[in-house]
Amino acid sequence: MPSLSEAYRAHPVHVQHKHPDLNSLQELPESYTWTHHSHDDHTPAASNESVPVIDLNDPNASKLIHHACITWGAYQVVNHAIPMSLLQDIQWVGETLFSLPCHQKQKAARSPDGADGYGLARISSFFPKLMWSEGFTIVGSPLEHFRQLWPQDYHKYCDIVKRYDEAMKKLVGKLMWLMLDSLGITKEDLKWAGSKGQFKKTCAALQLNSYPTCPDPDRAMGLAAHTDSTLLTILYQNNISGLQVHRKGGGWVTVAPVPEGLVINVGDLLHILSNGLYPSVLHRVLVNRIQQRLSVAYLCGPPPNVEICPHAKLVGPNKPPLYKAVTWNEYLGTKAKHFNKALSNVRLCAPS
């Protein structure tokens, strides 16, 4: 069965891995200076409105989620049944990892044709300037890399990642049905979700992100605007603002952290599956001069051998399929090559 790493073997991503320790810089170097206007697309946000916060115990949750997906391509959830202690544990893994000395982190560096490990965001290769962040990607078991980072007590860290992965998988099952139900797609209609529709065979990557404090945040960029290649992404952010989503015609809007909340992003593969009804959300991260920001993204896609295409129930004589069928690996390869043009690259007919 092809693994996620295969996408990058065919499309290696060359990102400069040696970079200064961001914590030690008193001034923003030229190589990290984005233009003044990069934070501003000149479209003022229409109102103070931001992505909705949805209580998963609300009997109307499915309807609210449907509305959020159509309008924003994102929402936050509370009462998601993930224990706060587990969220704190995974955040602690991130904090501990990113506070290691540079030479130690480099021992677990992501290789150009690899999927996992420490490094700059892989989308860095598409931009002339560097982003004010560092990341660590986990695909499958982190054991080999964690053994390099913490030769004595890597087990402790591996155990937290395993428990987090299991808990996220369960939440994915819940969220996928809340989203698909409102599109009229049932468990019988999506065979690859498994006989009980639990989405147990999904494939995921865990991305730990750190955005150190920045001496000149107005001219820096934490993570440049992108959509995720996933079905959905579940994001835990510590209590520090920085994440913004782009609302069509409405400009950039901050997703303020909510205590115990998780941000859910519609990814490109759900965009394709829903035949464009649930658009994947364009998002970015800004930085600040006061507190380090940490986030943990659970990027979830279908099982490796499954082809995602616009669902038959969302296609008809007046609604042609807008996208061709792709596996996650194929799509990650397309993304590695075309970045934010990947969706249009797999589009069948031009937007009307």
Ligand X SMILES: O=C(O)CCC(=O)C(=O)O
Pairwise CA distance, residues 19 & 236, whole Å: 26
Contact with ligand L37FFZMX (CB under 6 A): which of 133, 182, 202, 207?
207
Q: Is 228 in the site for ligand L37FFZMX (CB under 6 A)?
A: yes
x/- site string to ligand X, residues 109 to 148, per CB under 6 A?
----------------------------------------
C-alpha–C-alpha distance, residues 134 and 294, integer Å: 10
Q: How far is CA 302 from CA 17, 34, 86, 235, 255, in A?
A: 30, 35, 24, 18, 26
Stretch that binds ligand L37FFZMX, among 36-44, 101-109, 188-196, 221-229 (CB under 6 A): 221-229
CA distances from 283 to 51, 209, 233, 244, 246 (A): 12, 14, 12, 6, 6
Among 4, 97, 272, 296, binds ligand L37FFZMX (CB under 6 A): 4
Strands 251-254 and 134-139, sheet pairing = unpaired
Interface with Fe ion (CB under 5 A), residue from 116, 134, 228, 330? 228
Question: Which member of 299, 322, 343, 346 binds ligand L37FFZMX (CB under 6 A)?
Answer: 299
Q: Which residues does the annotation mark as catalytic? A: 293
Residues of span 254-283 touching ligand X by CB under 6 A:
283
CA–CA distance, 160 with 86 (Å, rounded to integer): 8
Is residue 134 part of the contact set for ligand L37FFZMX (CB under 6 A)? Answer: no
Q: Identify the burial level of 73 via C-beta atoms within 10 angstroms of its C-beta, where 0-12 means exposed, 13-18 middle and 19 or more buried.
A: buried
> CA-to-CA distance for 331 and 337, rounded, in angstroms?
10
Contact of 241 with 253, CB cutoff 8 Å: no
Binding site for ligand X (CB under 6 A): 207, 209, 223, 228, 235, 237, 243, 283, 285, 295, 297
Binding site for Fe ion (CB under 5 A): 228
Binding site for ligand L37FFZMX (CB under 6 A): 4, 115, 121-123, 137, 205, 207, 226, 228-230, 297, 299, 335
